Amino acid sequence: MLTTVTLVGLVVLVALIWLFLKTRSKDLIEEMIAKRRGSSRLVSRAEFVEGMERMGVALSLTNDRIVYENPDLDAYLELRHLEEIEYDDETATGHSVEGRILRLRSHGHTFEFILDPATARQWESMLPPRRADQGTAKAV
């Protein structure tokens, strides 16, 4: 009986720790969004898609780059190196998503971000879709 109670207690403890870390991660992303708001043209929450993994990020557009960051990731793409900008309802691998995908191609690599529909409209107005044969990307 004591073993069962101990085991249940450990499972509950692990679940609580996982929940705390997940909640804290969301809080940290909100702090990053607030920090970027003053220096960016557009800032929002997004999910960065890497293969089958999705991770929450703060996504921001400045005059010359797109920055995506979370407590474990700090990366950016320079607008002048973007070859294509697309908005879609499914990932490049064909998986449907709730919301819209912002798909960026740079140097032969694809970067995908899941946005809610309203946020995707904001991004599309600031960073319109563009194919590789249409010249360089310019934010409006």
Residue 73 lies in a domain: yes
- In angstroms, the CA 120 to CA 47 distance is 12
Residue 108 lies in a domain: yes
Residue 140 lies in a domain: no
Q: How many domains does the chain have?
A: 1
Check residue 5 and give its pLDDT.
Answer: 76
Q: Can you give the pLDDT of all 140 residues of the chain as single tens digits?
A: 778 878 878 887 777 776 766 665 566 888 889 999 889 999 999 999 988 889 999 999 999 999 999 988 999 999 999 999 999 999 988 888 999 999 999 998 999 999 999 999 999 999 999 887 665 444 44
Give me the CATH number covering residue 15. Answer: 2.30.29.30
Domain with 98, as residue range(s), is: 2-134
Residue 88 lies in a domain: yes
